[in-house]
Structure 1
Amino acid sequence: MSKWNKAWTAGIMACALTMSAAPGLAHAGDMSIGALFPMSGPNASYGDIFGSGANLAAEHINADQMLGGKLSIQYEDSQALPQQGVIGMNKLVNVEKVPYVLSAFTGVSKAISTIAGRSKTVAVNGGGVGPDLAELGPYFWNIIPLANYEVRAIIPYLINERKLKNFVLVYVDDPLGQAIRKEMESVLPGAGGKLVEALSVPATAQQFGGIAARVRAANPDVIYVASYGSQQSQIVKQFRDNGIKQQFASYTAFSIPEINALPEAAGSLYTSQNIDWNSQDPVTRRFVDDYRKKYNKMPTAYIANYYNAVRMFGLLAQQLIKKGLPVTGENLLKQRIESASFDLVGGKVSFAANGTVTMPMQINEIDGKGGKVVSTSTR
């Protein structure tokens, strides 16, 4: 049994009950939603992180009896790969017949969006940040600010506050990395910065000695890493081992425990959505308190995103049940459009017409002690 399965068997068993009727047509009663997370491979740690938030939300929905029955989550292993994501999505839609699927990673999300639209199944992304995820149709929603907001938040801070003007971008050669490169090429000149080199790496690469030599030759002020999982850890470690001392910067992917515990990553800066973990609003307080009790640590923005994605299903389905309407993807979309806002972790959240959210951003610094917020931005 894989590490992910060992870690999650208890959690999934606790909240997973099989429906007696097709879940996509359910009224009050037991329901299932789906999740396409990496449970194996180099990005399996993200599956652990995302699933911890999703499972806690299901536990809260069931404890509150919001749906008149039990909510379960059917997990499929995407391995963070588009092809595996499509296989998992087809199973969730055609076999499990779920009306609502949690998605992650830009490449996977783009690959499954056609299936979501064709089958009228809602897909909700809480982890991928490629800006083009805002253009995948009415059944694809983003509950995380996309990379254009993250890049626009950190560049003025690096240039104006840290006086770092010359950038090297090291990016994974996939839709996420390509989108961040495009955004940096667009934003940097107007902000007073310069992209002196943009270096792509294959998604499977783990050796970066050659890339490190090119970074040294470029001699930038700051190195922006647009990667994820074990690859980003190897980039940071191998660059430091090769004598590169410049400032590292990145996006939300740097929030994972592996990076925060890496000595070579100390001092790195990264963006994430701004959430006041000390807020006294009931949803945020309950989430933080129960997560800390369950896992003996503070949550992160990723965890909040997938909690919010599942909680949002609960709120939408609850309204449909009250109206006597079946909980289908089509009705969930109509109810989201009708709803002005949602009480989620971090406060009230509203959606734009294209299914995206905009939130205040914060800039975090890795300090080996859980990190600290150094700036906030509304960009």
Structure 2
Amino acid sequence: MFPRIASRLVAAALTLGLAQAAQAQELRIGALLAMSGTQATFGELMSSGALMAVEHANADRALKGKLTLLIEDTQATPQNGVIAINKLINVENVPFVLSSYSGVAKAIAPIAARAKVVAVNGGGVGPDLAELGPYFWNVIPLANTEVRAFVPYLVKQRNLKRVALLYVDDPLGQGIRKELESALPAAGGELVAALSVPVATQQFAGVAARIREAKPDVVYIASYGAQQVAAIKQLRDNGVTQTLASYGSFSNPEILALPEARGALFTTQLVDTASNDAVTKRFVDDYKAKHGKAANVYTINYYNAVRVFVLLAAELQKQGKPVTGENLLAQRNATASFDLVGAKVSFEANGTVAAPIQINEIADGAAKALTVVRSK
């Protein structure tokens, strides 16, 4: 009897040891996304891309140990973002988190920096997101880049010189206003109205009246999510007939499907989803097969953000180094470029990617590419 018990104890100990070893090898990363509330559409888009990158990494056994993504719902609010990142850092001990929304990013960046945890943004475009320190990276061009590419096109090629701005009163909207104030005069245009609204605003009849009074050629909407959808509908319902324009948030499928958004112009980073390189083709094919639709630019950004982690972590493991935020930063600085979906990407010194800007028009419920503006 005793030998049998002893053998069982040995087996149990071995099983426990193997389980602990497997657990020790698990790599956990976090995500701060709006999975509920008015911005949940974006949370779904972003998380679907990130989760596919995790699936691909695990299928390829790209890392020593299973990669797990822990998603925390911020509802796009800075307060929830702070609670979520503290949990991910202090309880889950993640070295790397995905962030979204300019307000959330600015709230969580100091916390991540103090803990030497890398935070990567693929959705917020506030210009000051380039100034949040070495541990905050952006895999999306910021609004200043989009506005500077867009304004000369509007003024010189479309003859849309008088611009009215409707913007949300947060870091994103404030940043876009600042960029328009400097870019428009330089291109021969004019900002004829700049109307701010609180983040929670859903009524735009009064704003529409003020826009009509300004007699603009084009109305730039610097907002996002459900608020932007409501603004588009209500501006049209209240007699604003001018061309609408925005940054990449107009790629939201809900906006593309709006009859009121037909003819709107907007900018995105250039992502060549028709490329035949292995990384792009695999993502495009697998995403379409799984979700029954083409990937959105935000979906691609969050796939790419996780892929950056996987590439860096794999190299650290190859070198026998622990996967910490500090080591991830050092390895990123030592890496010239990354093969991502749609492009080979390099990071600038401030942690932001450099990418050409594509100008699009909404037609037949989809985004039609018009032209590409490359950095000079």
Alignment TM class, shorter chain as reference: over 0.9
Aligned CA distance change for structure 1 residues 236 and 21 (closer, same or farther; 3 Å): farther
Shift of 1:368: 2.8
Measure the CA separation in 1 of the matches of 2:74 and 2:284. 28
**Is residue 39 of structure 1 aligned with residue 35 of structure 2?**
yes
Contact 2:195 2:207 in 1 (8 A): yes
Amino acid in the other structure paired with 2:194: A
Instruction: Give the structure-2-normalised TM-score.
Output: 0.93
Measure the CA separation in 1 of the matches of 2:351 and 2:364. 36
Measure the CA separation in 2 of the matches of 1:309 and 1:21. 27
Which residue number in structure 1 is paired with residue 72 of structure 2? Answer: 76
Contact 1:365 1:372 in 2 (8 A): yes
**Is residue 245 of structure 1 aligned with residue 241 of structure 2?**
yes
Which residue number in structure 1 is paired with residue 95 of structure 2? Answer: 99
Shift of 1:281: 1.0
- Local SS of the residue matching 1:371: strand
Which residue number in structure 2 is paired with residue 153 of structure 1? Answer: 149
Which residue number in structure 2 is paired with residue 116 of structure 1? Answer: 112
**Is residue 224 of structure 1 aligned with residue 220 of structure 2?**
yes
Measure the CA separation in 2 of the matches of 1:74 and 1:230. 25
Deviations 1:95-131 (A, max 9, x none): 1110000000000000000001100000000000011
Shift of 1:356: 0.8
Amino acid in the other structure paired with 1:359: A
**Is residue 284 of structure 1 aligned with residue 280 of structure 2?**
yes
Amino acid in the other structure paired with 1:351: F
- Is there any run of 5+ residues in structure 2 with no aligned partner, and where? 1-18
Which residue number in structure 1 is paired with residue 14 of structure 2? Answer: none
Within a 5 Å distance, the mapping from 1:1-379 to structure 2 comes to 29-379=25-375
Contact 2:147 2:180 in 1 (8 A): yes
Amino acid in the other structure paired with 1:117: A
Shift of 1:64: 0.5
Measure the CA separation in 2 of the matches of 1:375 and 1:32. 40
Amino acid in the other structure paired with 1:292: K
Which residue number in structure 2 is paired with residue 3 of structure 1? Answer: none
Contact 2:287 2:293 in 1 (8 A): yes
Measure the CA separation in 1 of the matches of 2:37 and 2:21. 34
Contact 1:281 1:347 in 2 (8 A): no
- Local SS of the residue matching 1:244: coil
- Local SS of the residue matching 2:363: coil
Shift of 1:369: 3.4
Amino acid in the other structure paired with 1:226: A
- Local SS of the residue matching 1:272: strand
- Local SS of the residue matching 1:366: strand
Measure the CA separation in 2 of the matches of 1:101 and 1:323. 23
Measure the CA separation in 2 of the matches of 1:184 and 1:119. 36
- Local SS of the residue matching 1:364: strand
Moved over 2 A (4+): 19-23
Aligned CA distance change for structure 1 residues 166 and 330 (closer, same or farther; 3 Å): same
Contact 1:22 1:97 in 2 (8 A): no
Contact 1:228 1:253 in 2 (8 A): yes
- Is there any run of 5+ residues in structure 1 with no aligned partner, and where? 1-18
Which residue number in structure 2 is paired with residue 10 of structure 1? Answer: none
Measure the CA separation in 1 of the matches of 2:271 and 2:125. 17
Measure the CA separation in 1 of the matches of 2:110 and 2:271. 32
Aligned CA distance change for structure 1 residues 301 and 20 (closer, same or farther; 3 Å): farther
Give the root-mean-square deviation of aligned CA atoms. Answer: 1.3
Deviations 1:186-228 (A, max 9, x none): 1100001000110000000000110000001001000000000
Measure the CA separation in 1 of the matches of 2:365 and 2:98. 31
Deviations 1:154-186 (A, max 9, x none): 111111111100000000000100000000001
Aligned CA distance change for structure 1 residues 343 and 261 (closer, same or farther; 3 Å): same
User: Percent identity between the aligned chains?
Assistant: 62
Which residue number in structure 1 is paired with residue 8 of structure 2? Answer: none
Amino acid in the other structure paired with 1:154: F
* Count of residue correspondences: 357
- Local SS of the residue matching 1:330: helix
Instruction: Give the structure-1-normalised TM-score.
Output: 0.92
Contact 2:307 2:340 in 1 (8 A): yes
Shift of 1:20: 5.2
Amino acid in the other structure paired with 1:54: A
Structure number with greater Rg is 2
Aligned CA distance change for structure 1 residues 224 and 118 (closer, same or farther; 3 Å): same
